[in-house]
A = this chain, B = another copy of it.
Amino acid sequence: MEIKLNKLLTKNKSLILTYDHGLEHGPAEFNLRNIDTDYILNIALKGRFSAVALQSGLAEKYFHNYRKKIPLIVKLNGKTNISQVEPVSRQICSVKRAVKLGADAVGYTIYLGSDFENVMFSEFGKIAEEAHDFRIPVIAWMYPRGKGIGNDRSTEILAYAARAGLELGADFVKVAYNHDAEGGPKKENKDTLQCTAEVMKAGAAGLAVGRSVWQHEEPLKMAAALKRIVFENKSVNEAMKALK
């Protein structure tokens, strides 16, 4: 039973545009352009991203015009950043509903090491089984988090996160990069590209990018620069030329 990974891959690499910040961080990071999902979907389409990752609510309201034009990843869980209890993110959207909405893959966040890790492991297992019955891949956002964890960007803990995702049945695992390519606030262009090059050299199958692209004044140029590194194995300097 083959899982359809190819839709998310170009030359076996992937560059995914994530746009789940509205739920996870609130709209404070948006401006009047990028608060609009259509703006994001246009970047994904014209920038030829490997896929775009959205919550089910956005997919349902905005994605129908882009169906079959951009591969879609539906995030199945999410939480706000308000409550300060041990982190737990529960399933909001079923795999079946995601598939109806046009998903080519589903995503799920696991807060590894949280007191509620077991709740997320249990939900993830059922999701992996159901998604694979639909032959679509599952992407695990593996984030070490909770009071049992000190420095959650140590190489040791990030390696643990990646391995746990594999053992749990994920087809792709998203972890932070501890030189911080994504995750913090948007950076200078060169820093972003430098990190991307390092990540790819470290053996990653690709990148998930968000604010670095859609907060950029010229998102399509940034997309072009990133793709030179991810898909064409170009140097940072060559990639920088795409920004001019």
Q: How many copies does the complex hold?
A: 5
Q: How far is the CA of A91 from the CA of B168 in the complex (A)?
A: 11
Contact of A167 among B58, B112, B165 (CB under 8 A): B58
| Residues of B with C-beta under 8 A to A11 | none
Please indicate the chain B residues that have their CB under 8 angstroms from the CB of A85 in the complex.
115
Q: Does A195 contact B (CB under 8 A)?
A: no
**Segment with Cβ contacts to B, from A143-151, A180-188, A201-209:** A143-151
**Stretch of A40-48, A118-126, A216-224 lying at the B interface:** A118-126
Binary interface profile of A, 72-101, with partner B (CB < 8 Å = 1, else 0)? 000001111011110011111110010000
Instruction: From known contacts A92-B125, A119-B90, infer whether A82 and B27 are also in contact, taking CB-CB under 8 Å.
Output: no
Instruction: Look across to chain B and name the residue whose beta carbon is closest to the beta carbon of A129.
Output: B97
Tell me, yes or no, whether A164 is within 8 Å of chain B by CB: yes
- B-contacting residues of A (Cβ < 8 Å)? 20, 22-23, 26-28, 55-58, 60-61, 77-80, 82-85, 88-94, 97, 112-115, 117-119, 121-122, 124-126, 128-129, 132, 144, 146, 148-149, 156-157, 159-160, 162-170
Question: Can you sample 17 A-B contacts with CB below 8 Å?
Answer: A20-B167, A22-B163, A22-B167, A26-B159, A56-B125, A56-B128, A57-B165, A57-B169, A79-B117, A82-B112, A82-B117, A83-B117, A83-B146, A84-B148, A88-B118, A94-B125, A97-B129
